[in-house]
Structure 1
Amino acid sequence: MANPAAVPLAAHALFHTHDLDEARERVASVFCPHRLDRIGKGAFDACHHHLRGERLSLNYIAYGTKTLIAPGELRDFYLVQVPLSGAAAIRNGADTYVSDPARAAVLNPHHATTMIWDEDCRQVLLQIDRQALNAHLAGLIAGRPDRPLTFTGSFDLTSQRGAALKALLLYLVSEADAGRPVLRPGSLLGRQIESTLMTGLLEAHRHNFSDALSHSRGPAPLPRMVRQAEEYILAHVDQPIAIEDVAQAVGVSARTLQLAFRRFRDTTPMAFLRDARLDRADADLRAALPGSSVTEIATRWGFGHFGRFAGIYRARFGCTPRQTLQDALADRFVS
């Protein structure tokens, strides 16, 4: 065992043991039940250090000998494993690769995992609550993920973004080792750092939502749910619909839909519906036949209060609906 003072997160030690069963039980209390077998010839010398945040935790684990670890599905959390030394063979679902100080492992919780850690493998691990990471992703893409977030392959820590995330992770470890832990429940700064770590991971490593998170210099792509909502509204513009109907049609909550429209359209779904109805009413006023009335046309497009309709019509088109109707009829008469 290395000098305890030189081991990361030493002030946050959970255990140090030579007993395989104790190590398995103590690690499981933080992560999940798993198979843990010594398959190397060296002495089993395990330790686990753990610093808990609000939505994630920092960990340091070493076993001192070649070890087989098979947790199956992690279920409730994603696990980023950054070797400080040594290497580990990883199988997570269909993915198989080797993790070392240049390549981290990101374990998907919905895929079964089996690992073999080499004798000299020492790792810093970032455990991220699954629901928290999915909620963070939803905020970045302005929509609830429609499938499990799935990372692919080893995580390149030599890339610009990968190196930046590793540097931030190790900085947080060094601050904790200096007696200044940033991550802790209830800390506003800690929560901001957690969000930065989650954003950094989502930006730096490949996954099935990478395209939606593309950070080109051009305008952000319009989320699919906004396009679907607009299509639904336009297809039902002549029917009585509420925001709950639109949200249900595209498979998100009303709140999520409102936030997406605010971010990408600078409006709301119901304001979009109102404007669509105004456009239809304006078209009908301009195509009206003799005997048509503003009230009739307004009612046709869902405007039951004539005074309010006249006000929002004028704000949008610069004249009253009655003026539009009169001008249209006069032009038709002259023609």
Structure 2
Amino acid sequence: MTASLTPLPLQGHVLFRSSDLDEARARVAEVFCPHRLDTSGGGAFAARHHHLAGQGLSLNYIEYGARTRIMPGELGAFYLLQIPLAGGASIRNGAQGYLSTPDRAAILNPHLPTVMEWEEGTRQILVQISRAAMQAHLAAHLGGPSDRPLTFDGPLDLTAGPGAALRRLVLWLVAEADAGQSPVAAPAAGLMAGQIEKTVLSGLLDAAAHDHMAALGRRRAAPRPRHLRLAESYIEAHLDQPITLEDVAEAAGISPRGLQLAFRQHRGTTPLGFWREVRLARAHADLLTAAPGVTVTQVALRWGFTHFGRFSELYRARYGLSPRDTLRAAQGG
């Protein structure tokens, strides 16, 4: 099977090739995150990483040659879909443990610690997906942000149904890049790139098991009731003000308990959880587009966060990095 992989995927987007373990660790970390990288067994270490950046995701091809143990801890800012082309990998992501093969993709959650062991000769396509983009896409399908991070339950069956369709889509994107006409490559990609990336994210939500499946199913099956629409409108009009459950229930014309049940059923969260998550999303958007001189404190106060330590904790849990790091990146730091 390995002989058929010539030329290699994403051959026109070589990031590095190296037989030096330390160099490989550092160069891979530039795209993903700091990690520990060790080898075992008798295979020769020969690392290769090809990388094509999009807007909310990137396409990658990685091989190490030798049997390799990879310990990144929590990925933090991104989800990672790993599709083996040859070989396989032992995966532990949080409490989950399984074997990933060409028939079974791995999905790594950013908020759970990860340890992987790639077999000798393993070659993989990796789709790195921004945690913020994935959560925003989920929120769009739920009709509002969730009060907990999206958590996938791997592995993902690639042999049939939505999993096979997702694999074909990813490999088509790789093939288009190899033909010199990538539809997702940044910064030249146009409007189609965003739609294709959303299709990949939708494919992942459809194909993989995760903890928001039931909420997505309810969302597709039933329209929002009127009192839920009224409650959401009231919340969005008072994002920068302190509100109570009773305030929202009165505006929606429903009892507080009835309102809580409606949000649980249709949004997978509570009314005040929805209020907090929308405020976090607005603060995130402001930090990403902040002009020089704007501070994290100003943005937090604008959206009603007066306890700055708690704001930072909530923000990091949602977006995988601190508000200060987001602001520094947005302002070119």
TM-score by length of 1: 0.68
| Corresponding position of 1:86 | 87
Q: Cα 1:235–1:60, aligned 2, differ >3 Å: closer, same or farther?
A: closer
Task: Pick closer, same or farther for the CA change 1:234–1:40 going to 2, 3 Å.
Answer: closer
Letter in 2 for 1:12: H
Q: Secondary structure of the equivalent of 1:27?
A: helix
2:55 match: 54
Decide whether the 8 Å contact of 1:92 with 1:114 is kept in 2.
yes
Aligned mates of 2:37, 2:248 — CA distance in 1 = 58
Deviation at 1:175, TM superposition (A): 0.7
Q: CA deviation at 1:140?
A: 0.4
1:203 maps onto 2:206 in alignment: yes
Query: 2:215 & 2:251 partners in 1: Cα distance?
Result: 29
Which residue matches 2:316? Answer: none
- Structure 1 pair 67–254 and aligned structure 2 pair: CA distance change class (3 A): closer
Pair 106,234 (structure 1): closer, same or farther in 2 beyond 3 Å: closer
For 2:31 and 2:175, locate their aligned partners in 1 and report how far apart those are by CA, in whole Å. Answer: 22
Partner Cα distance (2:65, 2:252) in 1: 70
Q: 2:228 aligns with which of 221, 226, 242?
A: 226
In structure 2, stretches of 5+ residues that fail to align are 233-244, 254-259, 264-269, 280-333
Aligned to 1:236: 250
CA drift at 1:40: 2.1
**CA separation in 2, counterparts of 1:2 and 1:14?**
22
Asked whether the equivalents of residues 147 and 277 of structure 2 are also in contact (C-alpha less than 8 Å), the reply is no
Report 1:276-315 matches (<5 A). Answer: none
TM-score (norm 2): 0.68
Measure, in 1, the Cα distance between the counterparts of 2:61 and 2:131: 20
Amino acid aligned to 1:198: L
Partner of 1:98: 99
Contact 1:143 1:223 in 2 (8 A): no
Assess, with a 3 A threshold, how the Cα gap between structure 1 residues 138 and 224 changes in structure 2: closer, same or farther.
farther
Q: CA deviation at 1:185?
A: 2.4
| 8 Å Cα contact 1:142/1:223 also seen in 2 | no
Partners of 2:80 and 2:149 lie apart in 1 by 15
Q: Give the distance between the partners of 1:76 and 1:9, measured in 2 at CA.
A: 23
Partner of 2:256: none
Q: Which has more radius of gyration?
A: 1
Q: Which has the higher contact order (CA 8 A, sep 6+)?
A: 2
Q: 1:203 to 1:69 in 2, by over 3 A?
A: same
The question of 1:122 aligning with 2:123 is answered: yes
Q: 206, 214, 217: which one pairs with 1:214? A: 217
In structure 1, C-alpha distance between the alignment counterparts of 2:52 and 2:83, rounded to whole Å = 16
Greater Cα shift, 206-215 or 78-87: 206-215
- State the 1:120 CA deviation: 1.6
Secondary structure of the structure 1 residue equivalent to 2:173: helix
Cα separation, 2, equivalents of 1:255 and 1:74: 22
Amino acid at match of 1:201: L
- In the TM superposition, 1:243-258 aligns within 5 A as 249-253=271-275
1:192 to 177, 180, 195: 195
2:86/2:122 contact within 8 Å kept = yes
CA RMSD of aligned residues (A): 3.2
